[in-house]
A and B are shown apart, each in its own frame.
Chain A
């Protein structure tokens, strides 16, 4: 206290002032270095920003508040995970089939959180505006947190069930996981503006509800309290990410009319890439979850056609149109999950989760949910395959697929207007042929061919003899690239993939819980019959 007794404590800053001091107040104008030397990624894409201060921060969240808030959520989450583990929560999920969904999630999604963390790290460095830079830094930490908490939430299952221990290696090596992997690698190797339009807007704002809502409700429906609590813990982050997505779009569109065409191009591209990525989720929703929340077709109607429709109606005032080929996604909504599950089933020995055929009762559900397509195109196939299983010679695909050069899915899709015709799209670039799964992917290639000509396509790499473990001699007379490729991917026969009824997970599930490993099929082993027959 000052001796004269006149010292008053400094006035407490208002939230707004506090926020301004802790974000823009931390920024400075460089004097030793030129600004363009510090922010070198900001011009080459062609986006024009005239005034970074026009950026309106959607959250007014300062770093100190962020840490406090996230720390509290973290403590709650880990308390629930602890309780889940102590209560043997792994046996409270519906059945062993649900565990297969967890494997897809762990290998296909968790790593994307990490990739997203890396992408936002780069934005947190590259944006000249302090507001968006701090928003990107926070999101970067969020995504890292999502990755680690998901791993922790699922790790408990890995103590009891197979196929989850090697997820980082599988993400890098299992053929179909190059689909999610290449998605984020495409985004992270774009410029900062394309990345943020791709991930914050097209993926998080337009499509995330499709991933988040059905997945979390699916977990709740199937008794997976560990995943549900992770979901709650991530939900407020996701709300923030979505807000960032829409703010970014508006900021870019308001800064310069020349930005509109570029933003539209990226919306078209990333909507299509995101939609193709979500095909994995369509399969999970319709075929893998033992207790279903809604069909993929219904989810697409609500979360894209209705919500997305309103969004793009709102953006029309900036000159933004709904994504190109949105009409194709609507034509495909009665097909993708069935086409996809067919190929996973037929190639079940080369994937990291077990498969099965839908039961009578499940097929009745499909007939109801997909009245225009299921009975006509897919029921006859599944009934035929069921018969083959009974005869002891289940259908198996004998050859690797032709892949899409852009999204890396096999070219498994059919013509938008004819579900009985394979869709063929190809192009010749500098004398070489490239194949695509769709017009959407073909357009993406045509716009930037030099980015995709060196895509690492798993099938092509296997045939070149590049996918085998050290010590294997590819010139040996008995060298079998397909067998060696499975070892390289870390897929063990009878443990990963195959039919669920033959899997070690199913055996153990029934032995430990006396409940059927697949609630739609009844008991696979005597462990269940003993208890149910008294």
Chain B
């Protein structure tokens, strides 16, 4: 049963549908193993943003301070969503990668597992 309520067929309106984000969509970004950042980051981005923009602008702004960051070899990075691994094309948009509203993008940097074990 979707909810136990006094009124039959109670429906809760979705509070976070994409149309409420003024042309943008939410995504989450998670640098795996880097737990010192505390959480997967949530942000609004335009769906037409190229994946390259994520790598060149968004990710360095959020994660750039970490001692591991400068050592990342971007061609070695393993990308995935909850649906499984994928290889991004920097020229193609998030939408073209099938990244929908509220999807989570994870990246793993093998060998770079957090500063001295502390995430």
Cβ–Cβ contact B39 & A410, under 8 A: yes
Query: Of B7-15, B47-55, B71-79, B87-95, which stretch is located at the interface?
Result: B7-15
List chain B residues, Cβ under 8 A from A420. 33, 35, 113-114, 117, 119
List chain A residues, Cβ under 8 A from B29. 399
Residue of A nearest to B2 (CB): A450
- State the CA gap A424–B22 with chains docked (Å): 27
Cβ–Cβ contact B35 & A399, under 8 A: no
List chain B residues, Cβ under 8 A from A158. none
List chain B residues, Cβ under 8 A from A426. 82, 104
Taking a contact as CB atoms closer than 8 A, the residue among B6, B24, B42, B61 that contacts A401 in the complex is B42
List chain A residues, Cβ under 8 A from B44. 463
Residue of B nearest to A375 (CB): B117
Give a binary string over B22-41; 1 marks a CB under 8 Å from any A CB, 0 the rest. 10101011101101111111
- State the CA gap A448–B41 with chains docked (Å): 26
Say if the beta carbon of B57 comes within 8 Å of chain A. no
Say if the beta carbon of A402 comes within 8 Å of chain B. yes
Cβ–Cβ contact B42 & A448, under 8 A: no
Say if the beta carbon of A40 comes within 8 Å of chain B. yes
Cβ–Cβ contact A378 & B41, under 8 A: no
Query: Of A72-80, A232-240, A379-387, A500-508, which stretch is located at the interface?
Result: A379-387
Distance (Å) between the CB of A332 and the closest chain B CB?
13
Residue of B nearest to A455 (CB): B15
- State the CA gap A421–B3 with chains docked (Å): 33
List chain A residues, Cβ under 8 A from B104. 402, 424, 426, 433, 435
Q: A378-B118, A380-B118, A433-B103 are in contact. Are A454 and B15 (CB under 8 A)?
A: yes
Say if the beta carbon of B1 comes within 8 Å of chain A. yes
- State the CA gap A392–B85 with chains docked (Å): 39
Say if the beta carbon of A449 comes within 8 Å of chain B. yes
Interface residues of A in 390-444 (CB under 8 A from B): 395, 397-403, 410-412, 414, 419-422, 424, 426, 430, 432-435
Say if the beta carbon of B100 comes within 8 Å of chain A. yes
Total number of B residues with any Cβ neighbor in A under 8 Å: 52
Q: A343-B38, A398-B61, A433-B103 are in contact. Are A380 and B116 (CB under 8 A)?
A: yes
- State the CA gap A21–B28 with chains docked (Å): 61
Cβ–Cβ contact B4 & A424, under 8 A: no
Say if the beta carbon of A451 comes within 8 Å of chain B. yes
- State the CA gap A382–B36 with chains docked (Å): 9
- State the CA gap A382–B118 with chains docked (Å): 8
Cβ–Cβ contact B12 & A421, under 8 A: no
List chain B residues, Cβ under 8 A from A402. 28, 39-42, 104
Cβ–Cβ contact A377 & B28, under 8 A: no
Cβ–Cβ contact A400 & B42, under 8 A: yes
Say if the beta carbon of A464 comes within 8 Å of chain B. yes
Cβ–Cβ contact A450 & B40, under 8 A: no
Cβ–Cβ contact A450 & B42, under 8 A: no
Cβ–Cβ contact A45 & B35, under 8 A: no
Q: A44-B5, A380-B118, A420-B35 are in contact. Are A453 and B42 (CB under 8 A)?
A: no
- State the CA gap A463–B28 with chains docked (Å): 13
Residue of B nearest to A343 (CB): B38
Say if the beta carbon of B56 comes within 8 Å of chain A. no
Say if the beta carbon of A315 comes within 8 Å of chain B. no
Cβ–Cβ contact A412 & B39, under 8 A: yes
Q: A424-B106, A448-B2 are in contact. Are A453 and B13 (CB under 8 A)?
A: yes
Cβ–Cβ contact B12 & A453, under 8 A: yes
- State the CA gap A414–B37 with chains docked (Å): 12
Say if the beta carbon of A67 comes within 8 Å of chain B. no
Cβ–Cβ contact B26 & A460, under 8 A: yes
- State the CA gap A379–B114 with chains docked (Å): 13
List chain A residues, Cβ under 8 A from B20. 464
Cβ–Cβ contact A454 & B13, under 8 A: yes
Cβ–Cβ contact B6 & A342, under 8 A: no
Q: A448-B1, A460-B26 are in contact. Are A342 and B38 (CB under 8 A)?
A: yes
Cβ–Cβ contact B62 & A454, under 8 A: no
List chain B residues, Cβ under 8 A from A378. 118
Distance (Å) between the CB of B4 and the closest chain A CB?
6
- State the CA gap A379–B118 with chains docked (Å): 7
Distance (Å) between the CB of A223 and the closest chain B CB?
33
Say if the beta carbon of B21 comes within 8 Å of chain A. yes
List chain B residues, Cβ under 8 A from A419. 35
Distance (Å) between the CB of B101 and the closest chain A CB?
7
- State the CA gap A401–B39 with chains docked (Å): 6
Q: Lowest 7 CB-CB distances: which A-B pairs, in order?
A: A380-B118, A381-B118, A399-B41, A450-B3, A380-B116, A343-B38, A454-B12
B residues near A, CB below 8 A? 1-6, 10-17, 20-22, 24, 26, 28-30, 32-33, 35-44, 61-62, 65, 67, 82, 100-104, 106, 113-119
Given contacts A448-B4, A457-B15, 6 further A-B contacts (CB under 8 A): A412-B38, A422-B35, A433-B100, A454-B12, A463-B44, A464-B21
> 21 A-B residue contacts at CB 8 Å?
A383-B118, A395-B36, A399-B29, A399-B41, A401-B38, A401-B42, A402-B104, A420-B117, A420-B119, A430-B14, A432-B14, A432-B101, A433-B100, A435-B28, A435-B40, A450-B10, A452-B12, A453-B12, A463-B24, A463-B44, A464-B21
